Structure 1
């Protein structure tokens, strides 16, 4: 069989070569045709300007699926520079700049919680996401910082994560409560679908606070949502969440990222994490309607996040909630070093009080 000739995609002022353009990345579904590698590259070129609003000057990890995505495929967990390094998987996270990157692709040095450092992609022009598509990237995971100051976030991210027994209508209800709460506190939130069943709310802030303070602000906000709506939880342990919407506060830690606006997600039908107005979000019945085929038409009416950089908010009201509302410190992810004041890292159902000291260390 003859090899399919490479194709070319225009992205900004650059023309990029796309090899294996007919490779199927998403199989057809009942409501969407199949998606090829060329179509992915063309999509990122089409949404280039609003996508760059989400990525520009941010350290960005890539979620790569070199052979495309299929039901049942798995994403490798843990550090990896390839699909078979650091954990088996069909897809993997690329946290360091891939080898063979073009000379126009810029980098920035970031520091992981372990203290290790790395050079990570820092997109500065629309050609970069298209080149990443050539490398099999579907989802972009930018840090909530700009390269001018990688230790002070300029973005709070509120991840509303539906738990078993809840549905998208529950997420929308909580998103409405979140919107009202932010407005009362003098903060402006911008909403998008996650590309699956959740909703993400971003708030631009002044880069004056640390990652630790950002995380505490997210906990404070989550606890205020719990106070206002009994269907919300900040419980870190899954066994304690129940049928509620989890506010994933740990997404605001250093080296924790959320899929960017206009990223594709590895789900059937090539769904897109899509910015919407609050009214559009409230009226949305099925987030799967927002996909590679429909989002470009939606953008014909303009980017719903066009004003996101117009205002940098004050994080103080949320830090005051953290100080005022009861509950104290919550658990960090398991790959983090033990943090001051953190509760024991053991599931409540497995904990025997006499076997753990106040610092969370097991007593033999």
Structure 2
């Protein structure tokens, strides 16, 4: 008996490609009955906007063996059997090792990734031609227990004002869950560690302005009911879901770019793989032209970083899988450190 499959015609820079989708009726979102074919068609429908945001970047794939409720894994090396038009680029990880990662140059590559059971796309903040120097500053506003999307909104608005003072033009998207992601195009002249320090400087300034609403505390026990400005997402090989990427959540939400004037009335649960294609058709892409309107620099933010260092504020903890970094504080949970003292 022949295996069930569907072929989608996907347009691209080199003409149409016929992309195979096997097991098209396999349910990916059980509560909604949305299938692998629904996901593949979504990628085609949002293709131009998805490619503008995530194309020409190293991408990590979040893949699922069955539904979004089941087993998952992250794929950094391009899966075996990739079509000959699929490109990859070597990137250096924090360990110093180098491996190839997928680069999406056309939407057919994203459809192929869906065929390989990808649900979430995690692009690097740097381009394939210059992977060591990010061209996007990214800040993840992560609501902690006791807070939610509503509490993240005023924080994002203040962050926009703060970044404008630093000479940066901020763009915003929903995380697809409770948080918000703030991006700013920057000149790709600084390495990841510099950009991390720029993000920490912005996060600390945000915390000073909104001390009851924002925290930069790495340890969860110290955050309280505040919005965590996650500076560690600015590290090498740390990524967040890309713009227009689906999320592996029960309601099939999308990490969706929005306009700043939409923010206070936005409902992140309303942006799904079902609704976002029609939204794009009706209102266009809020991130259109993000990288064509000029890029800022992190120079002023790095001046703030130097000011804070001089005032006695040092490096912050790195993720646990990173090598020990210069100036980093002990990677010991504060309560454990007190109990062992």
The reply to whether TM is greater than 0.5 is yes
For 1:61 and 1:128, locate their aligned partners in 2 and report how far apart those are by CA, in whole Å.
Answer: 13
- Residue 78 of structure 1: aligned partner: none
Over 3 Å counting, the alpha-carbon distance change for 1:19 and 1:339 in structure 2 is: same
**Contact in 2 for aligned 1:27/1:269 (Cα 8 Å):** no
For 2:316 and 2:271, locate their aligned partners in 1 and report how far apart those are by CA, in whole Å.
Answer: 34
- Residue 257 of structure 2: aligned partner: 275
- Residue 317 of structure 1: aligned partner: 300
Note the alpha carbon deviations across 1:130-157, whole angstroms, 9 max, x for none.
1000111011111111111111111111
For 1:277 and 1:318, locate their aligned partners in 2 and report how far apart those are by CA, in whole Å.
Answer: 24
Q: Aligned with 2:4: secondary structure? A: coil
Q: CA deviation at 1:317?
A: 1.5
Alignment of 1:168-187 (within 5 A): 168-187=149-168
**Contact in 1 for aligned 2:246/2:273 (Cα 8 Å):** yes
Q: Does 1:145 align with 2:144?
A: no
Q: Which has the higher helix share?
A: 2
Note the alpha carbon deviations across 1:99-125, whole angstroms, 9 max, x for none.
000000001001111111111101111
- Residue 240 of structure 1: aligned partner: 222
Over 3 Å counting, the alpha-carbon distance change for 1:266 and 1:354 in structure 2 is: closer
Q: CA deviation at 1:10?
A: 2.2
Q: CA deviation at 1:278?
A: 0.5
Note the alpha carbon deviations across 1:154-177, whole angstroms, 9 max, x for none.
111110000001121111110111
Q: Aligned with 2:90: secondary structure? A: strand
Which sections of structure 1, spanning at least 5 residues, go unmatched? 74-89, 356-364
Q: CA deviation at 1:68?
A: 1.9
Q: When the two structures are superposed, what TM-score results if normalisation uses the length of structure 2? A: 0.94
**Contact in 2 for aligned 1:4/1:22 (Cα 8 Å):** no
**Contact in 2 for aligned 1:157/1:252 (Cα 8 Å):** yes
Which sections of structure 2, spanning at least 5 residues, go unmatched? none
**Contact in 2 for aligned 1:141/1:258 (Cα 8 Å):** yes
Q: Does 1:350 align with 2:332?
A: no
Q: CA deviation at 1:4?
A: 6.2
- Residue 5 of structure 1: aligned partner: 4
Number of equivalenced pairs? 331
For 2:7 and 2:239, locate their aligned partners in 1 and report how far apart those are by CA, in whole Å.
Answer: 31
Alignment of 1:293-312 (within 5 A): 293-300=274-281, 301-310=283-292, 311-312=294-295
Note the alpha carbon deviations across 1:43-85, whole angstroms, 9 max, x for none.
0011111111122111101000131212xx4xxxxxxxxxxxx
Over 3 Å counting, the alpha-carbon distance change for 1:314 and 1:36 in structure 2 is: same
For 1:39 and 1:199, locate their aligned partners in 2 and report how far apart those are by CA, in whole Å.
Answer: 26
Q: When the two structures are superposed, what TM-score results if normalisation uses the length of structure 1? A: 0.88
Q: CA deviation at 1:354?
A: 8.6
Q: Aligned with 2:91: secondary structure? A: strand
**Contact in 2 for aligned 1:159/1:199 (Cα 8 Å):** yes
